[in-house]
Structure 1
Amino acid sequence: MDGDMTYKLIALDVDGTLLNDEHEISEQTLKTIKEVSSQGAEIVLCTGRGPQNSIPFMEQMGLSGYVISHNGAVTVKTDTREVVHQFALDVKAIAPYLNYFREIKVHFDVNTAFNMYVDSVDGLAVEVRSMYENFLMLPSVLPSMDEFSEPIVKVTLFDYAEKLDEIYQELSKWTPEFNILRSGEYFVDLMNPEASKGHALENLAKSKGIRQEEVLALGNYYNDITMLTYAGKGIAMDNSPLDVKAAADEVTASNNEDGVHAALLKYCLS
């Protein structure tokens, strides 16, 4: 084992990390996670997904505890669905962004902790609809902003990578009032500037009296960098972009080769 370090909190990204490209947890990885959990380490999922399509994976693994969802904007208790922490967006500040997204015809959704809204449900393009089906989500129609009774935590853009690269460049010239993040090849997220996986993970660890060096994190994309650098040990998947690998302490196998299993075996079970 890594000196005598015992990892007490293990943060796992979901897509591209815990799940293989078929959106499944392999039998091998499942078995290893259950074993690590039975030895007392707490597993927390840290994902760009909302709680409603990440909590089922906790249930599949037989775990209670927490999911850090919407890339750190919302932390939810798995069994009670209670929101223990959220970073809300300034609704007035969002308006010009949404108008711009409509002008340039990029698809976006607006998220509260548990719900997702789009301008039109009927008019969804085929690839947009299949993306939501893949993520087990069905959005509702976006009401006017003054009708929201709960905080908005994230706005997500969905389009081809090249188009998102251009939009990301353009938005980086605007007054920096949001955390704007490439959260996947086909996604860009707008969040509260305080919201990140690393920040949410740090808050959770502190609330449990767990020291930074007792935290292990695994991820594969740019939105995982904050948690990989916060954790005492940050491990990137082999399918990560180079910048993500550079931010990590080491690299494990890919998400299609049971990389999570390999890392947990090395640091938590050996």
Structure 2
Amino acid sequence: MKTKMIVFDLDGTLLNDEHQLDSKTIAAIKLLRKKGIKTMIATGRMYCSAQPHIEKLEIKEPAITYNGALVVNPENQESIFHAPIPFKIAKKITKMVEENNYHLQLYINDTLYVRHENEITEKYTKISGIAPNSVGSLNDFLEEEPTKMLIIEEDEAKQIEINNFLKQNFNGEIELASSYPSFIEITKKGMSKAVPLKKIAQRFGIKQKEIMAFGDGLNDLKMIEWAGRGVAMQNAHPELKAKADDIALNNSNLGIARYLKKEFKLDLELN
């Protein structure tokens, strides 16, 4: 079956280890479109964080952001799908996380809010290109439904503790995902990159088996499983690689460009 649409994760997939797009990767995506193949981004990032990369790639198709919770039309910046976390649930989580002194980030109207800036926010800004807004107590600040909530914790034992706590107290009310080892990403129950992808494919009249998807993190799992061909990066989480139909080379070794050149016979010079 001919591939009609390809969906790409950003960090660890399209982007190299410096979180940048290589010129060869950009060229490969543009050559795909010349062949009539639609190209899309599906990321855990904020839309404003993904936007510079989308513009470099000249992608016009809807951008799936926040692990599926927000889809934006990059041509007019309008939201075409939004599924935020219900307010009561978000409020409870915020209160509990702050009481336990964990680092929490709230994403509301594509803006990042934190209690205060620290080493964690500095690292996050380097990755995302987005500076946070410090607002003091997030529990006092929160007055509307957030698109996503993010707890960042480097300590593995504490990560397990937090995940278990969230599962025990909010089972059936939230979706947990992780795009980085230290990230615990919270969205509305049932949300994943696959949810809006199914809707977009239907709108374009593209069948499931005509879609290819690339990813590296556990937040890509449902998308990789659903796509006609799910491709994991060599640097991907072991669970994702086990579920993928194929493996592309490492993201820092032009894995996407090399895979696409071979698969679609692209006229692209690679070292």
TM-score of the superposed pair, with normalisation by structure 1:
0.91
| Letter in structure 2 aligned against 1:126 | E
- Match status 1:168 vs 2:166: no
State the partner residue of 1:98.
94
Q: Letter of the aligned partner of 1:173 in structure 2?
A: Q
Map of 1:193 onto structure 2: 189
Paired residues of 1:87 and 1:194 also in contact (CA < 8 A): no
Corresponding position of 1:238? 234
Percent of aligned pairs with the same amino acid: 28
Q: Distance in 1 between matches of 2:263 and 2:198?
A: 20
Letter aligned with residue 258 of structure 2:
A
Q: 125, 128, 132: which is aligned to 2:125?
A: 132
1:158 aligned onto 2:155? no
Does residue 1:111 correspond to 2:117, yes or no? no
Instruction: Give SS of 2:72's match.
Output: strand
Deviation (angstroms), 1:134: 2.5
CA distance, structure 2, for counterparts of residue 29 and residue 52 of structure 1? 21
Give 3-state SS (helix, strand or coil) of 2:147's partner: strand
Question: What amino acid does structure 2 have at the position aligned with 1:167?
Answer: I
Question: Could you say which residue in structure 2 is the equivalent of 1:39?
Answer: 35
More helix per residue: 2
Contact 2:84–2:188, Cα closer than 8 Å, also in 1 = yes
Conservation of the 8 A alpha-carbon contact between 1:74 and 1:113? no
Inter-CA distance 117–127: structure 2 relative to 1 (3 Å threshold): closer
Counterpart in the other structure of 1:144: 141
2:253 aligns to what SS in structure 1?
A: coil
> What residue in structure 1 maps to residue 15 of structure 2?
19
The one of 238, 263, 268 aligned to 1:267: 263
Q: Deviations over 1:103-139 (max 9, x none)?
A: 221111111242121123xxx1123223223311122
**Mind listing any 5+ residue stretches in structure 2 that lack a counterpart?**
267-271
Q: Which runs of 5+ in 1 are unaligned?
A: none
Asked if the contact 2:213/2:227 (under 8 Å) is kept, the reply is yes
Q: Is the 8 A contact 1:18 1:260 kept in 2?
A: yes
User: Aligned Cα RMSD in Å?
Assistant: 1.6
Q: For 2:164, give the aligned amino acid.
A: Q
Native 8 Å contact 1:12 1:46 kept in 2: yes
